[in-house]
Structure 1
């Protein structure tokens, strides 16, 4: 076991460290965090607009009016979340160079708009909202990276306009950004013109056809999801925040899949994807945090005899209800603990299988694309994420029971070890 752990540590730690400190992955992660409050706002109103049985209570015509009144909340946030993510990434990446970030953010968004189709059903000067959502997500991410780098390059070359002393600071900063933004957007305009002579017409069409569709199909499958889930657990075992590391890579795919489901849900169509952002966040992470450790807390209360586990249960229980599990990860401990390795890796993999096949067979509705706040307790989060379906809550509780059973023998061993150690210490003090 020690040899195995040593090999894992030597192989994974350098990789994880590089990913964790990568400038672009950090900007990607933080860019999504900027958009998160808006995404959650839109998700709340999707839930309110689709309350179960409301159409029966108030009538179909009143229900349609009610949905129409609440519709702009999600249309102005969830449906165009790519726009907020692009601005967030551009801002954060520019800030990482100690340059004022907002200009990098707006330059990234303007560059993205230059590269996107601006016609809809033959009408020019119109940007389809789908482009600002899931469909444009990949192009938006790449554009934000390149635009922020170009803007940073021109600023650091000092190709800026210097205003005389006494000019208001806001005016001075705007003029300083003028030349870097002009040069940056000119590069993207040239790219747009070049692509207009290709069969794809725009970069957006090229990216979506050649890159985004194949990657999204891969990310929506069970094998890629299992690899992602397993890596999250492995990184955490070595003390690295696996959720942040893996989400930095997979979030663009999972959010795109999520948005496809949301559009289908709002249209009353069949949901196309099983694996989405909420598949991960609600049915894996949303059950006590990474590794679904709320079941571990319950196990501690059921079998714990040692003072260490009993105290840990008291400390980890309340935050665990809201999916905060650092007390368990560091207090059990799970990090670098050989006795915790097997259940820590096995339980999420088993639950991923169960959840995937429950949804694939129709036993449980697929995630409806509604972004449920990550602190939402078990049961409620499953209900909301599946479009107010009780089966989602039942699946969560079933998964928790599975995790509990997987951890049971290992918790017994840990508890026995702590209990004997405590008794041995007390006996040695008495003598």
Structure 2
């Protein structure tokens, strides 16, 4: 066990440290955080627009009118979530360089729109909303990084217009950004023109075909999901925030899959993906936090004899209901505790397999693409994430029992150890 832990520490900790300090992954993570309030707002109205049995209560015509009235809420947020992510990434990356961040966000958005197809069914000057959502996500991320770097390069080269003293600050900043913005957008316009002479026609088609589709297919698979879950657990075992580290890499894929399901859910067609952002957040993280430690808290109340675990259960329960589990991770402790490394790593993998099987076979509906806030208590979150389906809540309850069974013998040993130490001390 010691050699295994030493191997993990020597191999994974340097990787985790590099990921944590990588400016691009940090900007990517923070960029998604900028979009989160808008995504949650849109998700709330998707839930409200699809309340179960409402069509039976008020009639189909009234229900259609009701849905049309609420539709703009999700259309203006969820359907174009890529725009918020792009602005967020451009802003955050430019901010890291100590430059005027608002221009970094704006130039990222403008660069993306230049590359985006502006023709829809023969009509020019019309941008398909699909290009601003899941389909354009990867192009938007790449564009945000490149445009922010170009803007930074031109600015730091002092290719700017200097205004004389006394000119208002807002005017001075606008003229200072003029040349870097112009050069950056011109380069993206040239790229668009070049791609118009290729078989792909647009950069977006190229990115979607060559990069996004293969990565999305890989990320939606069970193997890649299990690897991601394992890495989250191992990083947390060493005291590193595994969710932030792994999500920085996988979020673009999971959000894309999530948006594809949302579009299908709103259109009333079959949901294409099992693994989505909500698959991870609701059926793994959303049951007491990373590692589903709400099951551990329940077990403490059931079998705990030591004073340490009883007090920890009382302390961790209120937070655990809302999926905050730092009291358990650092109080049990889970970090660097060889007694719990087996259930800590194995339980999430088992739950991933159970959840994937249940959804892929149709026993439980797939995630509907609705972004449920991660602090939503279990059962309610499962119900909402699957499009108001009771099976989602039932699956969460079943998964909690699975985790409790896996943890039972290990927590029993840990509790016995604490109890005997307390008896000796007294």
TM-score over 0.5 for the pair = yes
CA distance in 2, matches of 1:302, 1:102: 53
The residue that corresponds to 2:162 in the other structure is 162
* Other-structure match for 2:315: 315
The Cα of 1:341 is off from its aligned counterpart by 0.2
The question of 1:100 aligning with 2:90 is answered: no
Deviation at 1:173, TM superposition (A): 1.0
* Aligned residue in 2 for 1:368: 368
Q: Deviations over 1:281-335 (max 9, x none)?
A: 0000000000000000001111111111011101100000000000000000000
Q: Deviations over 1:178-232 (max 9, x none)?
A: 1111111111111111111111111001000111111111111100000000100
Q: 1:328 — aligned with what? A: 328
Query: What whole-Å deviation, never above 9, does each CA across 1:9-50 have from its counterpart, x for those lacking one?
Result: 000000010011100000000000000000000000000000
RMSD: 0.6
Instruction: Please report how far the alpha carbon of residue 165 of structure 1 lies from its aligned counterpart in structure 2 after TM superposition.
Output: 1.3
TM-score (norm: length of structure 2): 0.99
The equivalent residue for 1:36 is: 36
| Distance in 2 (alpha carbons) for counterparts of 1:164 and 1:299 | 70
For residue 394 of structure 1, report the CA deviation from its aligned partner: 0.3
The aligned counterpart of 1:121 is 121
1:83 correspondence with 2:83: yes
Alignment map for 1:31-430 (pairs within 5 Å): 31-426=31-426
Residues in 1 aligned to 2:83 and 2:369: alpha-carbon distance in whole angstroms: 18
TM-aligned CA deviation for residue 73 of structure 1: 0.0
Mark the runs of 5 or more structure 2 residues left unpaired by the alignment: none
Structure 1, unaligned runs of 5 or more: 427-431
**1-structure distance, mates of 2:171, 2:338:** 60
Q: CA deviation at 1:167?
A: 1.3
Give the structure-1-normalised TM-score: 0.98
Partner SS for 1:339: coil
Distance across 2 between alignment mates of 1:343 and 1:178: 57
The alpha-carbon deviation at position 135 of structure 1 amounts to 0.1
- Point out the more displaced range, 154-163 or 89-98: 154-163
Deviations 1:351-401 (A, max 9, x none): 000000000111000000000000000000000000000000000000000
Cα distance in 2 between the residues matched to 1:128 and 1:224: 31
Deviates more, 1:162-171 or 1:317-326: 162-171
Determine the C-alpha separation between the residues in 2 that align with 1:283 and 1:209: 30
